[in-house]
Chain A
Amino acid sequence: MSSVPERPPARGSVLYDPKIRAVAYQILLIAVLGFLIYSAATNAIENLRAAKIASGFDFLGVTAGFDINQKLIYFDGAVSSYGRAFWVGLLNTLLVGSIGIVLATILGFLVGVARLSPNWIISKIAKWYVEVIRNLPLLLQLVFWYNAVLKPLPEPRNSVQITGLRFGTPDFMGIVSLIAAFGVSYALYVGAERIGRNDTERQIGKIIAALVAAVGAWFLLPNIGILRGTETGLFFLNNRGLYTPEPIFSGTAYILAIVLILGILASVLFRRWAAKQQAATGRQYPVGLITLGFIVALPVVTWLILSVVGTNPVTFAYATQGRFNLTGGLQIFPEFVALTFGLVIYTAAFIAEIVRAGIMAVSRGQTEAAGALGLRPGPTLRLVVIPQAMRVIVPPLTSQYLNLVKNSTLAVAIGYPDLVQIFAGTVLNQTGQAVEVLAVTMAVYLTISLVTSAIMNIYNRRVAIVER
């Protein structure tokens, strides 16, 4: 066999070597870019200095001096810095963004599915919703909602109220008597089942048992400390917002939190185990009831025990009428409601169309095959159509999420203190450091968007079809 002939050495200079040339061009481009950015930055700094405009980030530590109404973390203009104002604004933006995304997704899916409904009225309503909402400028909608939310509401003096008894700390004897009442009721129920000679008697026995439980609860609950006092306003609605009782956590609250987390964990594990059992043996367990027990009953019992033995982990502060406003309680601002509402309504119209497109992309044969297997329309949609539609839905859905967060900057029009209003508005104006403030603000929105889209990409990979 002849040996492979040696390749002749490349002719000509290295200048013509395509590989080297490619690398050289890349390096050149990077160098030019680097120089441009460097000279741009130094030019900006020099000009700012020449114009005697303060520069740098020292201002972040300076006391802000102005106040903010909606704040998720402590903020007091007298002592808090511009840096802290930044965090307040950022958290307000994230609050609207996250709540908005969740609600817009739910509403968007409902409307998207409704548009495909065989019910003529439902599908037409969904169609008109989409056509009207997505064709009106968002800014106008926000201003509309703000005035629609604000104007019809009464003044604080004439607040709409939901009254009731206030929560208090249960006492030991009260709980014993409550348990006794329910015990008697349960005994009656079981007794009726055993002793009853015919259906009518058994039914009567059960009704008596239920009455005993209801009457017991009715008389005992207000008198054992769980509910206290006379009827007073719990929720208030007026043109300053919605006031709800504010939970105040005491030292033992962490035990309640741990129990709640354990309950959720236990119910998740139980659900998995039950699903496995059902797949293996076909036996079904009362999953819903047991989940309810873990997540609701367990914490409630813990709360009762903690209240009787130690201190009540959660008490509530209620709003009361002051001279101008209600004081105390948790205030949900009309600006927040209007912004969230406007963003959700607007974005949901787009999501609905994406969902409709996704569902229509699933071939009709899938639905027919599910029908042939005996699945009802509900489970067909849930188990067959939506999972396949998700592959089409997720990428454009990501864009809508990004839009929602970016659109939240229109908050500035209705006085909601988001990042742009607080930081790129008030802080920029007070410090005059436009370059730094805007660079930081843009970096924040870029980060939020990139993180959102990274999470959605991971999710997309999970729902994407697995090629075999």
Chain B
Amino acid sequence: MKKNIFILLVLLLWQPLLHAELTIEITEGVEGALPIAVSPFAWQGKGSPPEDIAAVINADLQRSGRFKTLPREDMLARPGTVEEIEFKDWRALDVENLVVGQIQSNGAGGYQIQFQLLDVFRGEQLTGYSIPTTAPNLRSTAHRIADLIYEKLLGVPGAFSTRVAYITSVKQPEGETRIDLNIADADGYNPETIVSSSEPLMSPAWSPDGLKIAYVSFEGGRSAIYVQEVYTGKRQKVTAYKGINGAPAWSPDGRKLAMTLSKDGNPDIFVYDLITRKLQPIARHYAIDTEPAWSPDGRSIVFTSDRGGKPQIYRVSAFGGKAQRITFQNSYNARASFSPDGEMLTLVTREEGKYRIAVQDLESGVMQVLSQGSLDESPSFAPNGSMVIYASKAGYRGVLAAVSVDGRVRQRLALQEGDVREPVWSPIKQ
């Protein structure tokens, strides 16, 4: 009996960790996705392999919606090397591309992973690498391999080695709500809480080098902007003026933060130089000006303003000046950010009373609504520009969702309990 109670206690203590786990499901895939098979990697060592590398690669490719992966049970053989491949068997299964690989211990607690990507119809190698890694990095090496395969076959870099930052809100048994800022691998694995608070946390933003996150915290009963080093936990309070300190956005060179401050009486856009600590006003108006975002070339900033009566997106030089309205479709457009190539914006638009995620082509001004919810918010592009990640509601719960820019692939990322919101994709590792 005592033992049972102990086990129960241990389970209860583990509960919060379990809650942080994200699960991803594909809700809609692309027709004509590229057929590919990832054969289980051959393990050259004692016991069972330390990680199912092929399964991680397979899940990444499948989750992108761009690939139709062959289930293992449908494979006629499971070759670990090129010599073992019978190409005609794979042709018979309509598989166009095949991945084979090996993993071996390199003695010093590390591993060597080799893989080859093959064109099944030509029977030739498209690419192949041998990558050294360590036990804690096996999954991230698998994501890197998935990135290499994705780029080779689709011509754009993969975004599988990236991470996602997000906010969770979980009601505690004592009635308090705990707000956490978390980061997890792009496939939902390895979630870590980097800030935990009983007061609201919001608006996380990755620095361009992926090493820092800026965010807003209400600890102490008022808002302040913090910058925290992701891997050391060291943080710095950047601004804590009277009123709103919000919406931090990094300049592409990582030197400045655009932000919203209401210290002068109402929300205005400022640029704060992190080195000189100088504050420069960019957009000032008695209306609400907020949600700044930089263009990838660093030359201009878009922001939300209701100076015309309703919130719309405006564009201004990164050094200030006259702002120009750039959204005209629908009466509510807010929280715009640029695609990595600078040609598109993703934003929140209100259509027939529903708040949805849209993309707008900057040159033509044409807007396309991508999401299907009624309370969708916080959109941002994946670092390779392929998907837009955003927050949505499923029943009573906040969930994360991603949709491809053409609207054809949809994913949903859900927590086991509580709300998850404000997702932001990290930059691609250099």
Question: Are A and B co-members of a single complex?
Answer: no
Q: Which residues of B contact A (CB under 8 A)?
A: none
